[in-house]
Amino acid sequence: MSKPSPPTPVKLITSLISKDRSLIAFVTAELSQAYGGIDFMSRFIPFTTTTYYQAEIGENLMRRFITFEKLIEPDMLPEVKRCTDELEAKHKDGEGNRKVNCDPGYIAFDHLILATNKKYAHRPYLRNGVYADLTLIYKKKSFQPLEWTYPDYGSAEIIEIMNRLRERYKVQLKGILT
């Protein structure tokens, strides 16, 4: 018989998408106030795999991934999603359109989970209207996309970023567990 055990802490990650680099920097600072120091910022990556956000946020969108020094418990993800939803609402334009998209998630040894408010077959419910989107799994020494993974998350560049972040996470976790 298996026995319950506490979850292993995970690495909080957030994807920020906007056409306004200074807004991404401002939201990064706000997230840092909420979740502690930033230990990684990706370069600005052109967001070109879909036009999904263009009508609301605009064209020439850029994405930046950020991660935080402090590891979190996996069950904190719904609260983080609420926080990022509030930041999106805070930074709407005069017509009620978002100027930034914030997608939080976490990196664990065996997967990347993103938080979403959208229900779907591969998204188990967490709580407070938040679902867990299993976006990437780790096998054969690399993260791998799944049939439902957003195309950008399956790109070689983002897979490489996630693999590097997983290595950073492993080092952090060793420091906590030893």
- Per-residue pLDDT reduced to its tens digit, 106-152: 999 999 999 999 999 999 999 999 999 999 999 999 999 999 999 99
Q: Amino acid identity, residue 22?
A: S
Cβ contacts of residue 98 below 8 Å, gap of 6+? 56, 57, 88, 89, 91, 92
CB 138 within 8 A of CB 118: no
pLDDT at 177: 64
pLDDT the model gives residue 29: 98
Q: Which residue has the tokens 């418990």?
A: 73
In a domain, 59, yes or no: yes
Structural contact between residues 99 and 27, judged by C-beta atoms closer than 8 angstroms: no
Domain range spanning residue 133? 11-177
In a domain, 1, yes or no: no
Element (H, E) at 82: helix 77-90
In a domain, 18, yes or no: yes
**Inter-residue contact 23 to 100 (CB < 8 Å):** yes
What is the reported pLDDT for 134? Answer: 98
Task: Kindly state whether residue 37 falls inside one of the protein's structural domains.
Answer: yes
How confident is the prediction for the chain on average, in pLDDT?
A: 96
Give the pLDDT confidence of 14-68 residue by residue, as tens digits: 999 999 999 999 999 999 999 999 999 999 999 999 888 898 999 999 999 999 9
- Residue 157: inside a domain: yes
**Residue 6 belongs to a domain:** no
User: Cβ distance 114 to 91 under 8 Å?
Assistant: no
Number of structural domains (the chain) is 1
pLDDT single digits (tens) 100-111: 999 999 999 999
Task: State residue 62's pLDDT score.
Answer: 98
Is residue 35 in a domain?
yes
- Measured CA to CA, the distance from residue 43 to residue 65 in angstroms comes to 8
Token pair, residue 98, equals 């978002």
The model's pTM is 0.94
The phi and psi torsions of 6 (rounded to 5 degrees) equal -65, 150
Q: Give the CA distances from residue 176 to residues 5, 72, 109, in Å, rounded to whole numbers and listed in that order.
A: 17, 12, 15
Q: Is 152 inside any structural domain?
A: yes
